[in-house]
Amino acid sequence: MRRTARQLADGREIIYFDSEETAPERTAEDLRELDGPPTAPEMRRDPLTGEWIAMAAHRQSRTYKPPADLCPLCPSEPGKPSEIPESDYEVAVFENRFPSFAAPEEQPGVSDGGVLDTDSLVQRAPASGRCEVVCFTSEHRSSFAALTPRQARTVVDAWADRTAELAQVEGVEQVFCFENRGEEIGVTLHHPHGQIYGYPFVTPKTSQLLRNAEEHHRTHGSHLLGDVLAAERSSGQRVIRESEHWTVFVPPAARWPVELVVVPHRRAPDLAALTAEERDDLAEVYLDTLRRLDRLYDRPLPYIAAWQQAPFRFGRELSWLHLNLFSVLRAPDKLKYLAGSESGMGVWISDVTPEQVAERLREVS
């Protein structure tokens, strides 16, 4: 793979990933007139839950459902410059123009811990970190599921590259690679793309996973997800696909009407730790999984694909890389809404059993 780092007109970084060294050189300049790079928004700590909430009010003005000929993620054309200066590309990653987390400016009055007390209860700090956009292909009307295995492998390599590099960024504690697909999920740009967040803290979900993993290891002396994986492979009733290095299954207590977990057989803390063979296998398995999902209701399935990776500073020995993929679609024309119990109390009620979903996804191979 060849990696080429360039700069956009406002100083943001863009990186091209090409599977072949013989690909065209990525030398195009961004000739747009843009303001300087974005500054970090604010984040506040909820005193009741202890969770940090990013206040990114500038995102209200981000690009919203542009026509295809004005897509900011397509390659640039004469008279139509985009976020991608090149006239074509394979995979491109660039700093988000409307980030939820960004490199902070100097702010007098901020304490050594990076937190400014504005009153006795609420803490504030710059929402430092990094947000990147990952363009999976230059083809506007394509999808991740339509990629070739080689193209998908290049995306995997890009995820791994960004995970490893963001681990070196001061203040970044955890990297989250994800894809939102479909208007039902809230997507405002239809070009096939995902995102990468470099958080300045360990997320609430990861913290909960680490607490459970630590308790399980203390009690049983083994890794929690490893034991779950072994049990699912032994039972087979919720397994969708097994390969040499990966297993795809419906979690036994799935929250969403369609939900899958993609897990490597060897414990790895993050995508950067995967071997070449594991990455090759993942590209094949992931494409098969996405194509099954699109056949489930004979329509493109809206979904969120979320990579759970280890934090950088602690908990790595307890972490086991996995992908959680889920959809709000409970029938071809019906959505799962997070109503009172789910939204108000965090108590989920499922309309279908995991075994039923697994059986159906095996049938649509």
What does the pLDDT read at residue 62? 76
* Closest C-alpha among 300, 365, 359, 298 to residue 327: 300
Tokens 């803290």 sit on residue: 201
* Torsions phi, psi for 154 (to 5 deg): -65, -40
Give the chain's count of helices (H) and strands (E).
5, 17
Q: Tell me how far apart the alpha carbons of residues 21 and 305 are, in angstroms, rounded to a whole number.
A: 29
Sequence letter at residue 184: E
Mean pLDDT of 226-240: 98
Give the pLDDT band of residue 36 (cuts 50, 70, 90).
Answer: confident
The answer on pLDDT for 336 being more than 80 is yes
Q: Tell me how far apart the alpha carbons of residues 178 and 203 are, in angstroms, rounded to a whole number.
A: 14
Which pair of structure tokens corresponds to residue 146? 């339509």
Lowest mean pLDDT among 105-119, 183-197, 242-256, 322-336: 105-119
Tokens 């295995």 sit on residue: 149
The answer on pLDDT for 190 being more than 90 is yes
Give the pLDDT band of residue 116 (cuts 50, 70, 90).
Answer: low
* Closest C-alpha among 338, 99, 353, 320 to residue 230: 320
Our answer to whether residue 140 is catalytic in this structure is: no
Task: Say if pTM beats, i.e. exceeds, 0.75.
Answer: yes
Mean pLDDT of 64-78: 93
At residue 114's C-alpha, the angle toward residues 109 and 116, to 5°, is: 50
Would you say 270 and 323 are in contact if contact means Cβ atoms under 8 Å apart?
A: no
Non-local CB neighbours of 212 within 8 Å, separated by 6+ positions: 224
* Closest C-alpha among 189, 178, 173 to residue 66: 189
What does the pLDDT read at residue 110? 34
What does the pLDDT read at residue 90? 98
Q: Tell me how far apart the alpha carbons of residues 253 and 341 are, in angstroms, rounded to a whole number.
A: 16
> What pLDDT, in 10s, does the model give residues 144-171?
999 999 999 999 999 999 999 999 998 8
Q: Tell me how far apart the alpha carbons of residues 228 and 218 are, in angstroms, rounded to a whole number.
A: 16
What does the pLDDT read at residue 104? 72
> What pLDDT, in 10s, does the model give residues 275-287?
999 999 999 999 9
> Domains in the chain, please, with CATH?
2-107+117-200 (3.30.428.10), 205-308+327-363 (3.30.428.10)
How many Cβ atoms are within 10 Å of 235's Cβ, its own excluded?
11
Which pair of structure tokens corresponds to residue 233? 């492979």
- Catalytic residue from among 193, 223, 245, 322: 193
In the sheet with 13-18, reading across from the earlier edge strand, the strands are 2-7, 13-18, 91-95, 130-135, 193-199, 174-181, 303-308, 322-327, 258-264, 246-249, 239-242
The answer on pLDDT for 117 being more than 70 is no
What does the pLDDT read at residue 175? 98
Give the pLDDT band of residue 219 (cuts 50, 70, 90).
Answer: very high
